[in-house]
Amino acid sequence: MASEDAASEALSFSGLSTLSLYVHLPFCRRKCPYCAFYSVVPRRGEIDACLEGLRNEIVLWKDRSGFLPPLRSLYIGGGTPTLLDRRQWELLISLLEGAFSFDRTAEVTVEANPESLRAFHLRLWGEWRVTRVSLGVQSLDDDELRLLGRLHDGRGARESLAALAASGLAFSADLMFNLPGQTLKGWHRTLREVLAFGMDHLSLYDLTLEEGSAWADSPPGGRTSGYPFYRWAQWYLASRGFFQYEIASFARNRRWSRHNLAYWIRSPLLAIGPGAWGFCRERRYGNVDDLGGYLGEVAEGRLPLSAGECLLPERAFREAALLALRTAWGIPFRLFARRYGKAALETVLDALKGLPDGLFAVTDESLALSAKGMRVANAIWERFL
């Protein structure tokens, strides 16, 4: 049974001028050992049941919030959205088009995995309003992919990248580094080969052992430090015209992810589906991370909330500063002081005093991490915790 605390009960998306939407489709053919996101292997009828649950949840949010503004960004993730067949995708698209209006320049991103991406996905997305496909490549090395528990191999990843390049859709790739046994030479080769397919966006992730993942309690051996992998990637991608706009994200031609930035600048985010997390007006909420429990809640006319948090002022400004420093634009002094107060800004700047030179890019208007600062960001963020 889901429970709503005072923060969840007060949560509403009414009166907003902008909104982002995240849709969580929690289905995977197999759970990767490093993944802590909620997902299940779908049984017969469960994907259709989840789509009906999403419809019910949207109705409940609209009943609570009233008018919802046009979507500035939509991200459909998981899980593995490409496990949905054509009929299910058409149903999901119809559901979203019927429930929401879209900003004229709305960004719509869909996650895909190489082993389940099909030609009909690309045709359907191209006919709809998808602006980017995010492909979970992770690696092009077969040994690394087997270690990660991925269902595709290097050939399958290359074929999917080629299909995306031929489709005319903009696309991004997720890659992982600091894997057990991974070499810098192999990392160089993967990055160079992936870029040859012509994408305008990349996300790079240091393998972290998140609580709730299979590897959290029994980590694999053979890992060293992610620093040299990350440093080389920063240099190489910059040489290829990519701008590092966030700790893990690189884009060229100003094609950064609007939806990703919504998280870091703490814009209102409506999140639907089992295990989804959303945010609005200093309130964060999480949905039930159990498919059966989620479906039961929405079927009975209750929002499927399992967690809610109203950020107190000091927690709010510290978190806002930390998240802003993830981005290339950093902390905008005037905007930050207007939102949280001059004393909060002074507290943040005082927390950063005494750190070595070269970690920040400072102007009269803002403070951001330099490329070097990005490489040691975890140590800097500890100042805020």
- Indicate the residue type of 122: L
Write down the pLDDT at residue 3.
Answer: 40
Residue 334's alpha-carbon distances to 28, 252, 319, 329, 341, in angstroms, are: 44, 28, 17, 13, 10
Parts of the chain belonging to CATH 1.10.10.920: 313-385
Write down the pLDDT at residue 250.
Answer: 99
Please give the class, per CATH, of domain 6-264.
alpha beta
41-53 pLDDT, tens digit per residue, is 999 999 999 999 9
Write down the pLDDT at residue 218.
Answer: 80
Does residue 357 contact residue 324 with C-beta atoms inside 8 Å? no
Write down the pLDDT at residue 95.
Answer: 98
Write down the pLDDT at residue 219.
Answer: 80
Q: Residue 13's CB: how many other CB atoms inside 10 A?
A: 21
Residue with tokens 């052992």: 209
Write down the pLDDT at residue 286.
Answer: 96
Residue 14's alpha-carbon distances to 101, 271, 345, in angstroms, are: 15, 15, 29
Does residue 210 contact residue 184 with C-beta atoms inside 8 Å? no
Torsion of CA 216, 217, 218, 219, to 10 degrees: 30
Write down the pLDDT at residue 212.
Answer: 82
Parts of the chain belonging to CATH 3.80.30.20: 6-264
Bridge partners (DSSP) listed for residue 112: 135
Q: What is the pLDDT along the chain (385 residues), one digit of tens a residue?
A: 344 454 556 688 988 999 999 999 999 999 999 998 999 999 999 999 999 999 999 999 999 998 899 999 999 999 999 999 999 999 999 999 999 999 999 999 999 999 999 999 999 999 999 999 999 999 999 999 999 999 999 999 999 999 999 999 999 999 999 999 999 999 999 999 999 999 999 999 999 888 888 888 888 877 778 999 999 999 999 999 999 999 999 999 999 999 999 999 999 999 999 999 999 999 999 999 999 999 999 999 999 999 889 999 999 999 999 999 999 999 999 999 999 999 999 999 999 998 999 999 999 999 999 999 999 998 998 887 7
Write down the pLDDT at residue 343.
Answer: 98
Bridge partners (DSSP) listed for residue 377: none
313-385 CATH choice from 1.10.10.920, 3.40.50.80, 1.10.3210.10, 3.30.565.10: 1.10.10.920
268-294 pLDDT, tens digit per residue, is 999 999 999 999 999 999 999 999 999
Does residue 347 contact residue 317 with C-beta atoms inside 8 Å? yes
Write down the pLDDT at residue 10.
Answer: 66
Write down the pLDDT at residue 348.
Answer: 94
Please, is 321 exposed, middle or buried when counting C-beta atoms within 10 Å of its C-beta (0-12, 13-18, 19+)? buried
